[in-house]
Structure 1
Amino acid sequence: MNMTQLTVFREIMLSGSVSQAARNLGRTQPAISSTLATLEAGLGFQLFERRGKRLYPVPEAHYLLEEATQILDQLTTTERNIQNLKALQSGELRIVAMPGPSVFLVPQLVSQIAKNNNDIRATVVTRSSPQVHQLVSTQSYDVGIADLGVEYSLNTSLVRSEPFASDCLFAVPANDPMAQKKVLQPADLNGRPLATLHREHHSHREIRRAFQVAGAELVVRFETQYYLPLLTYVEEGLACAIVDTLTAETYRHYRGEAAHRVVFRPFSPEITLSFATLTPAHRPPSQLAQAFISLWRAKVDSVNSHWNANER
């Protein structure tokens, strides 16, 4: 029994004759008769009594019609859903991301995909970068976004990694004289209170190294686990902070008018911060996941280009 046989059988039941079923399906009458005969042979009994030129369904035929209708309708629904998935009109997207991108940038891109398609569902979970890697490695999330500046090992047998980078910026209060400088150096920040990520992070070690080489005094007053909270200390005039371009972009959108209280300047020597887009190694990305990753890639390039050309 196959779908063609069920389709022919249902059409005969609904139309009442082989000739009408042939016309409705765009096939020849002998082809329809042959398909019906093959179906009956496979079942081991006749589905119709032949009385002259008319067919009269036996009781079993009515049961088969109900079953065939359910099967064919389900197939039609499945085909439609697959086409919708292909056209990004339905589906589910599960993303786990480090704090920062998960606050604004990731939801912004998900919104671009979902805004015209009510059948798209999305889950965005915020976790630390090691936890992002762990969750993606379980193959239960479509995309992960993680910081590579913290110590943890990527299991390449479970996770695919696409690295990307961001030059760091120094955030300073807008009313600070340093805000007038085009580029900040360790000497400009000599003895000034700073807000940085925790001491185990790559950026913290690089800042410490840059100050040592320049012979400048490094004064770390505030430490946090994530970049975005550092900017609160800058807003309040309590410290300057080193952040990445994605954090600067998130802050600009998220804080609105308050964002004018902070300006961002490049730092010399350059400090590069490394991140990665993670996908499960044993599950090919869905159409939705591929669409999101393409948007994310373009967003990162756009943000880096903007801040590298227009640090403020």
Structure 2
Amino acid sequence: MNFRQLEIFRAVISGGSASRASELLNISQPAVSRSIAELEASIGFQLFDRVRGRLVITPEGQLFADEVATAFLAMDRLKASSLKIRDFGSGHIRIASLAALGSTLVPRAIKLFQDDRKNVAVTLHIDSSPNVRELVAKGQFDIGLAADEIDLSGVDHQRFASFKAVCVLPPEHPLTSQKAIRPEFLHREPFIALAAGDRTREDLDAIFRKHDVVPTIVIETPNSATVCALALEGVGVGIANPIAADGFLERGLEVRPFMPDVYFKSHLIFRPDVQRSQIVNAMASALMKARSLPPTGAKSLRHAS
């Protein structure tokens, strides 16, 4: 039994005769009759009775026809799936991201991605940069966004972005009168610090030491978004990734440039064990494009100072 025999069998049922099946498949009528005889021989029972030159399906043949129809339906679904994989890759993509980008830039990228690929499911997971790296390295996620302090061995990677740090201030804070914030302005100032081990925190500490500045650290947090939230509540001032400030300006957060320049750097990381699918490449392109897009429905940080 082979696929061609089953195809001819279906054509005989659909057309009602061997002659009609030959027309449908563009083969000779003897070829149809020979294929049916070979199929009957291979399965061990008769599919058709020959009545006055006509093929009449047997009860066993009808049962077999029902199974063949189910198999061909599954084949049709398989063909449709193969076309979707050809055009879009697999139907599901999993993204892991550090918090600063996962609640701001990444959603904008997902919108860009799904404008062209509405049938592709997306899973978004927010985690620390080291955990993002582990999830991608172990193959549990397809693509990741992580800060540059992670170990890049064991993953494919490329530089994603380098965002210039900003100083975030409570509403009506005295330092809002300044056009830019310098290290000396923060001496003894209640300060919301990034967590120890953060690359930007290390750069800031080096700047503070160089200028003999000692901020009064009132709280530490690994997330720039939390720095913004705490500053908005008046806990202190902080240095944050400008992307994480999306949405806080409308609520009253004040943002100023920080000098000298300090950067939040990030990497795009990929699974090392598989070739990137079309949808992974498409999501990477959407993430790259989203870097230059303003926050949806929000004023740009360019107008915050």
TM over 0.5: yes
SS at match of 1:269: coil
TM-superposition CA deviations, 1:115-135 (whole Å, max 9, x none): 797754332222222111222
Offset at residue 230 of structure 1 (A) = 0.8
Partner of 1:217: 214
Aligned partners of 1:246 and 1:300 also within 8 Å: no
Give the TM-score, by structure 2 length: 0.82
AA of the residue aligned to 1:185? R
Partner of 1:244: 241
AA of the residue aligned to 1:184? I
AA of the residue aligned to 1:167? K
AA of the residue aligned to 2:250? E
Partner of 1:289: 280
168-177 vs 81-90, greater mean Cα deviation: 81-90
Matched, 1:153 2:151: yes
What is the alpha-carbon distance in structure 2 between the residues aligned to residue 34 and residue 297 of structure 1? 60
Partner of 2:250: 257
Aligned CA RMSD, in angstroms, stands at 3.3
TM-superposition CA deviations, 1:243-282 (whole Å, max 9, x none): 1132123xx2xx4731xx2232332222222222222222
TM-superposition CA deviations, 1:151-182 (whole Å, max 9, x none): x42342xx322222222222123433533444
Matched, 1:190 2:198: no
TM-superposition CA deviations, 1:94-116 (whole Å, max 9, x none): 22222233334434433454479
Distance 1:163 1:42, change over 3 A: farther
SS at match of 1:100: helix
Aligned partners of 1:245 and 1:303 also within 8 Å: no
AA of the residue aligned to 1:20? R
Offset at residue 298 of structure 1 (A) = 0.9
In structure 1, runs of 5+ residues without a counterpart are none
84-93 vs 269-278, greater mean Cα deviation: 84-93
AA of the residue aligned to 2:11? E
What is the alpha-carbon distance in structure 2 between the residues aligned to residue 131 and residue 180 of structure 1? 40
Partner of 1:126: 126
Equivalent of 1:267 in 240, 255, 258: 258
50-59 vs 236-245, greater mean Cα deviation: 50-59
- Report how many residues are paired: 301
In structure 2, runs of 5+ residues without a counterpart are none
Aligned partners of 2:46 and 2:60 also within 8 Å: no
Offset at residue 228 of structure 1 (A) = 0.8
What is the alpha-carbon distance in structure 1 between the residues aligned to residue 289 and residue 49 of structure 2? 66
SS at match of 1:130: helix
279-288 vs 52-61, greater mean Cα deviation: 52-61
122-131 vs 85-94, greater mean Cα deviation: 85-94
Partner of 1:203: 200
Partner of 2:158: 162
Partner of 1:141: 141
Aligned partners of 1:132 and 1:146 also within 8 Å: yes
Distance 1:31 1:302, change over 3 A: farther
Distance 1:188 1:2, change over 3 A: farther
Distance 1:115 1:90, change over 3 A: farther
SS at match of 1:144: strand
Distance 1:26 1:197, change over 3 A: farther
TM-superposition CA deviations, 1:31-64 (whole Å, max 9, x none): 5456546645655776445556423445553343
AA of the residue aligned to 2:157? S
175-184 vs 30-39, greater mean Cα deviation: 30-39
What is the alpha-carbon distance in structure 2 between the residues aligned to residue 145 and residue 310 of structure 1? 27
65-74 vs 79-88, greater mean Cα deviation: 79-88
SS at match of 1:145: strand
Distance 1:87 1:126, change over 3 A: same
Distance 1:282 1:40, change over 3 A: farther
Partner of 1:4: 4
Matched, 1:276 2:267: yes
Offset at residue 74 of structure 1 (A) = 0.5
Give the TM-score, by structure 1 length: 0.80
What is the alpha-carbon distance in structure 1 between the residues aligned to residue 82 and residue 107 of structure 2? 25
Distance 1:245 1:11, change over 3 A: same
What is the alpha-carbon distance in structure 2 between the residues aligned to residue 256 and residue 9 of structure 1? 69
